[in-house]
Amino acid sequence: MTRPSTLSELKASGYEPRTIREELRSNLIARLAGDEAAAPLFEGIIGYDDSVIPELENALLCGHHIIILGERGQAKTRLIRGLVSLLDPVVPAVAGCEINDDPFAPVCARCRRRVGEDGDELAIAWTPRADRYGEKLATPDVTIADLIGEIDPVKIAEGRHMADEEAMHFGLIPRSHRGVFAINELPDLTERVQVGLFNLMEERDLQIRGYKVRLPVDVLVVATANPEDYTSRGRIVTPLKDRFDVQIRTHYPRTLEDEIAILDLEVPGTPRGGRPLRVPGFMKEIVARVTMAARVAPEVNQSSGVSVRATISNYETLLANAEKRAVRCDEPEIAPRISDLHAIVASTSGKLELEYSFEQDKETDVIDRLLAVAVKATFDEHITLSDLQPVIDYMGEGWGVAVSDSMPSSEYTEGVASITGLHAVIDTLGRFESPGLMASAAEFVFEGLHLNKKVNRERAGGRLSYGT
Ligand SMILES: [Zn+2]
């Protein structure tokens, strides 16, 4: 069946236009009523099933403009982009219209004129849903012209009058007509632009160079903001704040499992350069716990937050450091270990904003402390210290162990066999039969002993020596 290509065909097809709110609402209801096997509404969003998503669904059922408040890296943008999947796959529009006009009720002057001229022969185009989503990161230099529109000097030069709507160059919001428009970091818009935005949302008109242009665009506005910026006095003009009907608060993953689930989702576990990734569960836990420890650390500015991107880039960096070893030592697997963790100082640094009173502290010292917290918590979770008494006794006799992130995994195998009791404890961690996993588990045990003050440790970059 071919799609209607003229207004008369569209009328004959029985198509009934819907507002953006009606469309989102009815598609959401269809999704909610659908079977469990239907694609999830917010794919790739973890940890919001009982908090954020139910609130978002309610807002969509009500047709509310939405403000999403959250610290950085809480999947705010991804949530909003997920709304696109609730739009109809295609909708008819006046062909050639810059703002995706509804053929039955065009808004722009040009289309209104063309309906008069072409009548039922008016050409129809079909707009895919991806084209009905607009997004802008707010900054102080975003102008009314960017968001709403401007008189186009070229059109004036061609002889159009200033008050002629057809002399307008449309901004991003009119271009999202019959769609969703997202503004990230709303408080960074200047007051003037906020007022312009309010007028468009509330009064459905705009003022350009003193001319009032009525432009009843149909847009669902979803904005995001850091909660502290949004609530601090004077950052948002009151009428605009009132215009957002619902305020939804996002949060960081509330459990270790969720933090790891995000890591697994974002970083593919597929082989690299033909080498399989063999990542012990405790290494993933350590990476996730570094971020979680940073989110409660007094040295870290918590109002700006610690993004889940910290977890993701730390994990990628850890894998990269392990892959280098696999390549250099020509090993058949990539198995990250404790001596690789020094590499994540670089990937963590840019993700933390230190509190003013701690600014004289070295960032690397703060990250070292977070790493120690994460490794110790993970060790204590998985290993019973008393099981390691034979290893502690062995080290107490004056034996030392030196490891590094460049040491081939095969060199660990003999050591693990010769230290009484070590292999038995490693066996409690899982089936760590390969040299890479064995090396990783051995380092985990030694570092845990050090953090529990059972053995000393000296460190230089990726080189670690343990002894008493
Ligand atoms: Zn138009």
Domain locations in the chain? 7-138+177-186+218-249, 256-467
- How many A from CA of 16 to the centre of ligand 1? 18
Q: How much is the pLDDT for 357?
A: 75
Please compute the mean of the pLDDT values over residues 1-8 and round it to a whole number.
90
Has residue 179 got a pLDDT over 60?
yes
- How many A from CA of 113 to the centre of ligand 1? 9
% of the chain exceeding 90 in pLDDT: 74
Please compute the mean of the pLDDT values over residues 193-200 and round it to a whole number.
88
The DSSP output letter for 261 is: H
Which CATH architecture is the domain 7-138+177-186+218-249 placed in?
Answer: 3-Layer(aba) Sandwich (3.40)
The one-letter amino acid at 19: T
- How many A from CA of 382 to the centre of ligand 1? 64
- How many A from CA of 103 to the centre of ligand 1? 9
More confident residue, 171 or 211: 171
Q: How much is the pLDDT for 178?
A: 96
Integer Cα distance of 281 and 289 in angstroms: 12
Please compute the mean of the pLDDT values over residues 331-354 and round it to a whole number.
94
Burial-class residue 32 by CB neighbours within 10 Å (0-12, 13-18, 19+). Answer: exposed
pTM across the whole model: 0.88
- How many A from CA of 168 to the centre of ligand 1? 12
Has residue 213 got a pLDDT over 80?
no
| Of the candidate ranges 217-221, 357-361, 404-408, the one whose mean pLDDT is the lowest | 357-361
Contact 346, 376 (CB under 8 A): no
Has residue 42 got a pLDDT over 90?
no
Q: How much is the pLDDT for 204?
A: 73
223 Cβ neighbours under 8 A, 6+ residues apart = 65, 66, 67, 68, 182, 183, 184, 186, 244
- How many A from CA of 218 to the centre of ligand 1? 13
Read off the pLDDT band of 342 (50, 70, 90). Answer: very high
CA atoms within 13 A on the CB side of 263: 28
Has residue 219 got a pLDDT over 80?
yes
Please compute the mean of the pLDDT values over residues 50-61 and round it to a whole number.
95
| Of the candidate ranges 10-24, 306-320, 411-425, the one whose mean pLDDT is the lowest | 411-425
Q: How much is the pLDDT for 166?
A: 76
Angle made by CA atoms 96, 99, 102, in degrees to the nearest 5: 80
Q: How much is the pLDDT for 35?
A: 54
120 Cβ neighbours under 8 A, 6+ residues apart = 6, 7, 8, 11
- How many A from CA of 220 to the centre of ligand 1? 18
Nearest alpha carbon to residue 175 among 244, 90, 107: 107
Integer Cα distance of 283 and 397 in angstroms: 30
- How many A from CA of 395 to the centre of ligand 1? 79
Has residue 38 got a pLDDT over 60?
no
Please compute the mean of the pLDDT values over residues 325-337 and round it to a whole number.
97
Please compute the mean of the pLDDT values over residues 445-458 and round it to a whole number.
95
Q: How much is the pLDDT for 41?
A: 76
Q: How much is the pLDDT for 363?
A: 87
Structure tokens at 219: 């847009």
- How many A from CA of 173 to the centre of ligand 1? 14
Read off the pLDDT band of 163 (50, 70, 90). Answer: low
> Mean pLDDT in the chain?
91
Q: How much is the pLDDT for 16?
A: 94
- How many A from CA of 97 to the centre of ligand 1? 4
Read off the pLDDT band of 34 (50, 70, 90). Answer: confident
Which residue, chain included where needed, has tokens 């997202």? 182
Read off the pLDDT band of 209 (50, 70, 90). Answer: low
Q: How much is the pLDDT for 461?
A: 84
Integer Cα distance of 237 and 119 in angstroms: 44
- How many A from CA of 174 to the centre of ligand 1? 10
- How many A from CA of 110 to the centre of ligand 1? 6
Please compute the mean of the pLDDT values over residues 276-299 and round it to a whole number.
97
Please compute the mean of the pLDDT values over residues 125-139 and round it to a whole number.
96
Has residue 250 got a pLDDT over 70?
yes
More confident residue, 135 or 233: 135
| Of the candidate ranges 114-118, 148-152, 158-162, 403-407, the one whose mean pLDDT is the lowest | 158-162
- How many A from CA of 152 to the centre of ligand 1? 16
Please compute the mean of the pLDDT values over residues 276-296 and round it to a whole number.
97
